[in-house]
Structure 1
Amino acid sequence: MKVLLTGANGYIGRRLKSLLILQKNIELRILVRNKKSLSQEVLDNYEVIEGDTFDKEALKKALEDIDIAFYLIHSLNKKNYKELDKQSAQNFIEASGHCGVKRIIYLGGLGVKNSDTSKHLLSRIETGEILSSSSTIQTIWIRAGVIIGSGSASFEIIRNLVEKLPLMITPKWVDTYAQPIAVDDVINYLVASLYLNYKKNLIVDIGSAKMKYKDMMLQTAKALKLKRYLISVPFMSINLSSYWLNLFTPVPFTVAKALIEGLKSEVTIQNNNAKEYYPKVKPMSYIDAVKKAVIEIEQHQVISRWSDSDGSNWDKKHKEQINDSIFVDRKEADISSYDKKKVFKAITSLGGENGWFDYDFLWELRGIIDKAVGGVGINRGRRDNCDLRLGECLDFWRVEDIKEDERLLLFAQMKMPGEGWLEFKIDGNKLIQSAYFYPRGIVGRIYWYALIPLHYLVFINMIRNILRNSKS
């Protein structure tokens, strides 16, 4: 069968892709915004279409002759994500009908429509309804609640709270019921949906045992061998809870708020279709899922994170801005006596637990300020201490471009009055380190000039320490 995978570089998509390429009886095609976000091995062995669901020509090309398509697309990180999700799903179902697609497999969220349904969950439900609206295409709608796995937003929130706070003052939503599920089980249900012998539309609710959020935190503490105490209070609003999560966990305020709004109502299984149609998939218990996730983190085997993206077409989106940047701070060093591979390795080891080679307290202070104003901060860290790939997050940066032994470009995701980039480039016998800033108005210009003394301290020491570390 011919299968299309969308969202291939997202949290679920990246893991699903690694399993789909092991399936011997399928011909896999991948739709991504940027081909450079995929490994050379994938590019060499699978058909890749560059585009997205808003590019109708690319979408038709991607869906041509496809039997089954995975729809793993969500625009939560954009302000108007609800409208974008509806348009994306409509484009997809129309193009699928035009191309003769037989089945769409969609991963949505548990929950029902009512007056308390959050905007985020409502968007996931509406997407599923649109994808299920065709009379000629079958849609298998898998619905999952809290996904537990290394790198998942839900798990990173729970783990960070449990690790950092021996005593937690919690809002009343911790008594809400949910049915969490291990990310590996989600992937197993998705793959099994390829081979399901069923012809009509089907909604499949998946999850392990029903439990309260506070029990998830207590079981996580048990798995981590920690003693934790929770005190529930009735006066913590959604906004206050969101700021609390923003401060103590890696997720930014906007993501935290969207997730917490969804905790007003239970997200529990509404049908028995998982057991009836997928009898071979046996969801693991919550505590086993937590233990597996912790092992993956400790052994540096995190395949994907919630903050992963397709990688942006920086050359189309940002190149003009970089070239026209009003402010540039550039440092150069002679590397004729250095091993260039080791220099690049030192560059790509920046951030996360490795730090920034000097003045780490200034980076941490900037991260605290960023968190205080609703930004991402630096406690997102990095997925792996040694490996970087296009599109993933590195503290409050995103990897915008990476060319082995040649160039690393980071895009600033912290809150500031303008757009910023940090570039490391090996050009012949020179290492060139450049900070670019494209200000917004007079405030942006004041911001840059105010930071010049700190930039001098941080950036001149950074390039020196990159070279020092490349000799170790």
Structure 2
Amino acid sequence: MSEAATRTESKLVLVTGATGYIGGRLAPRLLEAGYRVRVLVRSPEKLADVPWADQVEVVRGDLGDPASLATATAGVDLLYYLVHSMGAKGDFEATERTAARNVALAARVAGVKRIVYLGGLHPATGTLSKHLRSRREVGEVLLTSGVPTVALQAGVIIGSGSASFEMIRHLTEVLPYMPAPYWVRNHIQPIAVRDVLYYLLAAAGLPDDVNRTFDIGGPDVLRYGQMMNGYAVEAGLKQRPIASIPVFAPRLAAHWVNVVTPIPRRLAVPIIESLQYDCVALEHDIRDLIPDPEGGLSSYRDSVRLALGKERAGEVETSWQNSSVMDAPSDPLPSDPEWAGHTVYTDVKQRRTNAPVEELWRVIESIGGDNGWYSLPVAWAARGWMDKMVGGVGLRRGRRNQEHLQAGDALDFWRVEAIERGRLLRLRAEMKLPGLAWLELRSEPDGAGGSLYYQRAVFFPRGLGGRLYWLSILPFHGVIFTDMANRITATAARQAHVESVRSLSESPAAV
């Protein structure tokens, strides 16, 4: 074993935000580099299906809970701060400030030797958006913590599954002509996600006396309109005429983005507010300590090309969808005995199919996204548009992988709350609702070579509005959920028959 590998193997690294877009990609790369990795997450079940879950130590906790931070930072050499409250309700600046102070104190008490923080590029002077102001303040708290800190300040991150990339992609693909606010003419320095990860990893080896911010960005400085048309070229589309209009209304623009892209309005607002500034690197001092990656930093067009290639190959590691920003409940579905005393509405369907349970489960796990919901597509599309018009996520989020799901995945306007592969899929609603809703799909063997399909919709109404909502959609549920149960079992039976015929045709006896 090399001396460098021995040094990293002995170090314990704590990653906060491991269920997020960057943290979910950094953790396995730290393992590959030989570090011992611990992750602090609020919901460990979200990591149940990631391929590296059994290689890390998982601590359940929250940055707002000093006790869990004390446990998480014990014995840690290096801490990655990759948590942001972008899109959260309420005073997220106060929430982020408190979290940063809690982490700073816990790291200092535990004797952590280095903190690495990922913030955002911003102008040196002038008024900033709340989002950029908060990220700058978090960096300042960590830099004055008494623990040597590297605060990497990145611009728009381009990679498969990133919110910025999704916004560029959908705006470009949906709009053949775009009248846009003046911020499309502002300058931006995008950076490939692979280069962000390169800098994050390399920052772990910086000298102990380094305690400062570093601007990081790719080799191109572009206007937002140029980024959209750069995407168009790589995606094989015609370049889009873009007209700048002298208006900047972030919330109006965010609502428009919400309607024509999968990005929910609450997440679009901080992104668009940040675009009112020229966000370019003001210094390049990082090169004095960390050389460019082999082959150089990725250009914007190369970043787009790589992102599109990853998606076509089904290799999206993490997505902005992994992090919920909706008014969704954080608690799991209560068990049936706990419903006592609560108003609850249910819609239950049960069907039997000749398909083996494995085939039925394959259909269940592939539901949603491009595969659809097996009943009245027009009705599902209408519900998605209704949700979009009130600022919800709508149906266009789709799914990360067309065949497999894991806990925490976004699935159109649902989120995978629990999955017991081969048996149970529980989805929690993230559309705008006057209450809380879940949808459960189950598959079980029937003991005779076939399988049983169970489907249950559960709704906890909020006030009179919630009760009226359930009554108003009840007639539609009778059609949609019945059709859904029938089509899922019929599809499983049909696919099982096709597979049986194929197996017979390929058997030696048939030949």
TM-score by length of 1: 0.95
Query: Aligned-pair distance for 1:20?
Result: 1.4
* TM superposition shift of 1:319: 1.6
Q: Does residue 105 of the first structure (1) align with residue 86 of the second (2)? A: no
Residue from 328, 350, 354 that aligns with 2:367: 350
Identify which of 304, 309, 315 aligns with 1:301.
315
Query: Given the alignment, which residue of 395, 398, 411 partners 1:378?
Result: 395
Cα distance in 2 for partners of 1:91, 1:238 equals 32
1:289 to 2:295 alignment: no
Residue 236 of structure 1: how far off its partner (Å):
5.1
Residue 64 of structure 2 corresponds to residue 54 of structure 1: yes
Counterpart among 62, 76, 82 of residue 86 in structure 2: 76
Amino acid at match of 2:404: D
Q: Which residue of 1 aligns with 2:198?
A: 188
Measured after TM superposition, the shift of residue 304 of structure 1 is 0.8
The answer to whether the Cα contact below 8 Å between 2:184 and 2:224 also exists between their aligned partners in 1 is yes
SS in 2 for 1:411: strand
Deviation at 1:106, TM superposition (A): 0.5
Query: Which deviations, in whole Å up to 9, do the C-alpha atoms of 1:413-432 show, x marking residues without a partner?
Result: 11121111111123553322
Match of 2:140 in 1: 129
Q: Please show how residues 38-437 of structure 1 align to structure 2 within 5 Å.
A: 38-39=47-48, 42-80=52-90, 81-112=92-123, 114-135=125-146, 137-208=147-218, 209-227=220-238, 228-235=240-247, 237-281=249-293, 282-309=296-323, 316-319=331-334, 323=339, 324=342, 326-335=344-353, 337-427=354-444, 429=446, 430-437=452-459
The residue type equivalent to 1:269 in the other structure is A
SS of equivalent to 2:275: helix
Per-residue CA deviations over 1:261-310 (Å, capped at 9, x if unaligned) read: 11111111122222222113332100000011111111111111112138
Moved over 4 A (4+): 310-317
CA RMSD of aligned residues (A): 2.0
Take 2:267 and 2:329, find their aligned partners in 1: how far apart are those partners?
24
Does structure 2 conserve the Cα–Cα contact (< 8 Å) formed by 1:8 and 1:310? no
Q: Which runs of 5+ in 2 are unaligned?
A: 1-10, 447-451, 496-511
CA contact (8 A) 2:375 2:481 kept: no
Q: Report if aligned partners of 1:37, 1:311 keep a CA contact under 8 Å in 2.
A: no
Q: In the comparison of the two structures, how many residue pairs are matched?
A: 469
- 1:447 equivalent in structure 2: 469
**Is contact 1:32–1:310 with CA below 8 Å preserved after alignment?**
no
Whether contact under 8 Å (2:40, 2:62) holds in the other structure is yes
Q: CA deviation at 1:138?
A: 0.4
Partners of 2:330 and 2:392 lie apart in 1 by 25
Go from structure 1 to structure 2 and tell me whether the alpha carbon gap of 1:64 and 1:198 turns closer, same or farther (over 3 Å shift).
closer
Q: The residue matched to 1:415 in structure 2 has which SS? A: coil
Distance 1:311 1:334, change over 3 A: farther
- In the alignment, is the contact (CA less than 8 A) between 1:3 and 1:69 conserved in 2? yes
CA distance in 2, matches of 1:457, 1:468: 16
SS in 1 for 2:310: helix
> Could you tell me which amino acid in structure 1 is paired with residue 352 of structure 2?
D
Do 1:34 and 1:310's aligned partners in 2 also have CA atoms closer than 8 Å? Answer: no
Report the CA distance between 1:334 and its aligned residue: 2.6
Cα pair distance change 1:311/1:34, threshold 3 Å: farther
Amino acid at match of 1:140: V
Q: Percent identity?
A: 38
Residue 44 of structure 2, aligned match among 26, 29, 35: 35
The verdict on how the C-alpha distance between 1:96 and 1:391 changes in structure 2, with shifts beyond 3 A counting, is same
Q: Which moved more, 1:420-429 or 1:187-196?
A: 420-429
- Name the CA distance, whole Å, in 2 between partners of 1:47 and 1:174: 44
Shift in Å at residue 184 of structure 1? 0.6
Aligned equivalents of 1:349 and 1:196: distance in 2?
Answer: 45
| CA deviation profile, 1:117-157 (whole Å, cap 9, x unmatched) | 1011111111111111122x100101111000111011000
SS in 2 for 1:331: strand
CA distance in 1, matches of 2:331, 2:223: 46
1-structure distance, mates of 2:247, 2:84: 32
How far does the alpha carbon of each residue in 1:202-253 deviate from its partner, in whole angstroms, 9 at most, with x for none? 2111112211111111111111121121111113522221121111111111
CA contact (8 A) 1:242 1:260 kept: yes
CA shift in 2, pair 1:320/1:115, >3 Å: farther
Distance 1:129 1:195, change over 3 A: same
Seen in structure 2, the aligned counterparts of structure 1 residues 221 and 27 have a Cα distance that, compared at 3 Å, is same
Query: 1:77 Cα deviation (Å)?
Result: 3.3
Q: Is the 8 A contact 2:48 2:407 kept in 1?
A: no
In the TM superposition, residue 168 of structure 1 has moved relative to its aligned partner by 1.1
- Structure 1 residue 113 displacement after superposition: 6.1
- Which protein shows a greater Rg? 2
Matching residue's letter, 2:348: R
Instruction: Say which is worse superposed, 32-41 or 418-427, in terms of deviation.
Output: 32-41
CA distance in 1 between partners of 2:53 and 2:241 (Å)? 49
Aligned to 1:21, the other structure's residue is in SS state helix
Change (3 A) 1:39 1:436: closer
CA distance 1:415–1:163, shift in 2 (3 Å): same
Distance 2:55 2:159 in 1: 28
> What displacement does 1:196 show?
1.9
Summarize deviations over 1:320-340 as a string: whole Å, max 9, x none.
6983451111111235x4311
Unaligned runs of 5+ in 1: none
Conserved in 2, the CA contact under 8 Å of 1:422 and 1:433? yes
- In the alignment, residue 461 of structure 1 is paired with which amino acid? D
Q: Distance in 2 between matches of 1:408 and 1:54?
A: 31
CA distance in 2: counterparts of 1:314 and 1:451, whole angstroms: 21
1:172 Cα deviation from its structure 2 partner: 0.5
**Mean Cα deviation higher: 154-163 or 73-82:** 73-82
Contact kept? 1:66, 1:101, Cα under 8 Å: yes
| 3-state DSSP of counterpart to 1:307 | helix
